[in-house]
Amino acid sequence: MQRWEYMIRKTDLKALSQASRVDLERVRLTEYGEEGWEVIAAVPSQDALIIFLKRPIEGQ
């Protein structure tokens, strides 16, 4: 049976109103993707965007 590990990232929504911050977040998510992480959900809260990621646990 496949096992997963999870990561939760919190990003300030006010910061994402700046184009440079959006580009930085895109770069970070691309790096996570290269490490095997997959975004499974993004949920806005009052002042943040909560991003949930998962990847398979190797060797399990």
Burial state string for 33-54 with b = 16 or more CB within 10 A and e = fewer than 16? eeeebeeeeeeeeeebbebebe
Per-residue confidence (pLDDT) for residue 16, from 0 to 100 = 77
Question: 3-class DSSP state for residue 19?
Answer: helix
CA dist., res. 34 & res. 7, Å (int)? 15
Per-residue confidence (pLDDT) for residue 60, from 0 to 100 = 63
pTM of the model: 0.84
What residue ranges do the domains of the chain occupy? 4-56
Q: What confidence tens digit (pLDDT) does each residue in 1-59 have? A: 899 999 999 988 888 778 888 888 899 999 999 999 999 999 998 889 999 999 999 87
Tokens of 27: 């770069």
Query: Which of 7, 9, 6, 19 minimizes the C-alpha distance to 48?
Result: 9
